[in-house]
Amino acid sequence: MTETLPLVLVPGLASSSRVYAPVIPSLWRLRPVMVANHLRDNSMEAIARRILSEAPARFALAGHSMGGYIAFEIMRQAPERVARLALLNTSARPDTPEASARRRMQMQMARDGKLHEVLDMLFPQFVHPSRVTDDALRQLVHDMADDVGAEGFINNQTAILARPDSRPGLGTIRCPTLVLTSDQDMLLPNELSKEIAAGIPGATLTIIPECGHMSQPERPQAVAAALSEWLATRQS
């Protein structure tokens, strides 16, 4: 019988459940689905603890971007509870000093009431170059900013700034793992996903064509198909 443990989805920076909305209907047919709230704490350790306290006893776990950073922390805290793992458009590396400086600038802008300006600045990195003028995707980013709010954004960024290097633990991950990325992720280039896939024993690497960082709303059918196949993978 196919395993039907619940699926926990973790959004990325400044993202809400809306980022997964295009793929949830396909996944819901396979098993129960819940989207974690990652806004209430400002460290990876605390975010992961809270998600674990609210999650089922055992579950499949998928994290997008920052959600991948959180997924790595969940794997450090409770690997026995994660039946299978999907890491979407993410990185196992810590920030560079330059990236940290940009985050602190963006946090100050959010404190000054300019969160939407921050996201307008980031939007060209969020999407495939052909979608920079896509008004629907831009509106989605702003709607999620309203869901998250300045406090949630600052909590997210504070946690990201202090996240550890997850590369040393890649070899300890033993559950069926999907590493999904895009051919033109302008924010977290797919070399970072290739590094993750190479470090996790037996991981599957999927690269979505004609797609940017926001893979779920940009290419929902391809992402849903990859996640559905991952969920159907038999465990060894």
Residues 124-152 have pLDDT tens digits of 999 999 999 999 999 999 999 999 999 99
| Number of folded domains that form the chain | 1
| DSSP state letter for 113 | T
Give ∠ CA 111-114-118 in degrees, rounded to 5. 105
State the CATH number of the domain containing residue 46.
3.40.50.1820
Predicted confidence (pLDDT) per residue in 90-115, tens digit: 999 999 999 999 999 999 999 999 99
2 pLDDT above the threshold of 50: no
- In our burial notation (b when 16+ CB lie closer than 10 A, e otherwise), range 4-22 reads ebbbbbbbbbbbbebbbeb
Q: What domain range includes position 92?
A: 1-236
Residue 34 tokens read as 């819940």
Closest of 97, 102, 125, 115 to residue 154, by C-alpha: 115
Q: Looking at residue 132, what is its pLDDT? A: 97
- d(CA 26, CA 152) in angstroms, rounded, equals 28
- d(CA 205, CA 214) in angstroms, rounded, equals 17
Task: Confirm if 69 and 166 have CB atoms less than 8 A apart.
Answer: yes
Please report which helix (H) or strand (E) contains residue 51, including its range: helix 44-54
- d(CA 46, CA 142) in angstroms, rounded, equals 26
Mean pLDDT of 165-169: 98
- d(CA 82, CA 103) in angstroms, rounded, equals 30
